[in-house]
Structure 1
Amino acid sequence: RKVITSHDAFGYFAAHYQLKFLAPQGVSTDGEASAKQVASLIRQIQREKIKAVFLENMANPKLLEQLSKEANVVPGDTLYADALSAPDQPGASYLKMAKHNITALVAGLQKN
């Protein structure tokens, strides 16, 4: 029950639902992931056949897009973390955001 995201923003969710979120950047999006961290995560994705990979609405998608390409996985829907979306998008309210994230995570985990 492992999920790859841009940064480690889902700690409470992970603890409550016994999921393990792995991220190249850790909790802060201010720092850069090292090449060694990214390579290690790519090897783990391939070794453990992790398919639940998600971009986040508030994170730069480039690193996770590169990681997904190199690990040969297709990212799932965007997860909403740290901010809601525009009114016409799935994360327009807290409840809509939670429902969208849960639906996306379940779909991703079913691929694992």
Structure 2
Amino acid sequence: MTYVIAEPCVDLLDKACIDECPVDCIYEGERMLYIHPDECVDCGACEPVCPVEAIFYEDDVPDEWATEPTNYTKANVDFFEIDVNGEGPLGSPGGAAKVGKVAADPQWIKDLPPMGEEH
């Protein structure tokens, strides 16, 4: 099991969770943040600091964000498997800090209408 970032993060990218993560497993995509399912140690440090309550334990993701077509649990896996700028998938790089922002998102996240506080 792992934690999952869901729809309230799209276009918000607050990043308070990144500062709290002791294992550096929260990666920044173009439109939202993603938790690497293999690197997350299930500590839960990220969940209480999220200002929009976008982080859920995998079993607790609300149905509206855990089923197709808006399956954010799957998006948090798919982000690490998509081709990034023709260089192949991100995979498991072992820490977000050394990767930095990745100009990618799963296609259905890219296709979402603008969201976040300014929209």
Q: TM-score with structure 1 length normalisation?
A: 0.30
Richer in strand (by share): 2
* Higher normalized contact order (CA 8 Å, seq sep 6+, divided by chain length): 2
Q: TM-score with structure 2 length normalisation?
A: 0.29
